[in-house]
C-alpha cells in the first residue's frame, strides 16, 4: 500500500507532463474561463450515452447515480480501475478521479478535463458539444494512466485474488 501511494504521489506531481503525453484532443480553457463562457441555462441533455460511447472501447462499463457516474474495468491482475465522475446534481459541473484498487491497496489520481487550471476544479459541463469534448479529454487521460501508471502500480502491488472486489 505504501509503495502504491508513493507511485501515485509521484505521478500526481508530474500531472502536467502526463497530460501533455496523453495528447488531449481538445484545447479547453481553465474552469474559470469556461464558466465565464458558458451561457446560463446550458444543458447537455443525457450524459451517460456519451460516456458509454467513449469509454466502452477502453473496457469500461458502469452506472449512474444521483449526480455521479462510476465506470469500472478489471485488469488481468484483478486490479479494479474505477472512474468516479461527479457531474453535479445542481451545479452541472464535472470533477473526476481515476481510482486503482487491489487487495490491500487503493488510491486516486485526478481526471481534469483541461490542461490549464487546477486539476480538481469543478468544470462547467455546458452544452452537449462541450460535454463530448470533456469526455474525450478525460478518456485520453484515462488511457494514459492505464498505459503509464497502472503497470507501475501492478508491479509494486502484485496481483489480487480472483475473488477480490473493492
> What does 120-136 look like in DSSP terms, one character per residue?
TS-EE--SHHHHHHHHH
Convert the pLDDT of each residue in 120-157 to its tens digit.
889 999 999 999 999 999 999 999 999 999 999 999 99
Q: Give yes or no for residue 88 having a pLDDT over 90.
A: no
The whole model's pTM is what?
Answer: 0.93
The CA–CA distances, whole Å, from 153 to 3, 78, 86 equal 8, 12, 25
- In whole angstroms, what is the distance from residue 100 CA to residue 155 CA? 13
Backbone φ and ψ of 72, nearest 5°: -135, 155
Give residue 120's pLDDT. Answer: 87
Amino acid at each position: 500500500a505504501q509503495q502504491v501511494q508513493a507511485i501515485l504521489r509521484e505521478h500526481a506531481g508530474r500531472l502536467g507532463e502526463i497530460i501533455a503525453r496523453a495528447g488531449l484532443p481538445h484545447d479547453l480553457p481553465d474552469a474559470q474561463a469556461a464558466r465565464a463562457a458558458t451561457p446560463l441555462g446550458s444543458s447537455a441533455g443525457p450524459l451517460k450515452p456519451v460516456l458509454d460511447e467513449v469509454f466502452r472501447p477502453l473496457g469500461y462499463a458502469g452506472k449512474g447515480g444521483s449526480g455521479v457516474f462510476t465506470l469500472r474495468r478489471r485488469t488481468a491482475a484483478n486490479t479494479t480501475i474505477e472512474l468516479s465522475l461527479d457531474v453535479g446534481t445542481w451545479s452541472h459541473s464535472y470533477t473526476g478521479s481515476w481510482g486503482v484498487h487491489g487487495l490491500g491497496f487503493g488510491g486516486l489520481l485526478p481526471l481534469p478535463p483541461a490542461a490549464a487550471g487546477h486539476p480538481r476544479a469543478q468544470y462547467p459541463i455546458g452544452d452537449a458539444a462541450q460535454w463530448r469534448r470533456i469526455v474525450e479529454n478525460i478518456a485520453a487521460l484515462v488511457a494514459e494512466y492505464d498505459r503509464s501508471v497502472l503497470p507501475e502500480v501492478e508491479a509494486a502491488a502484485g496481483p489480487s485474488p480472483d475473488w477480490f472486489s473493492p
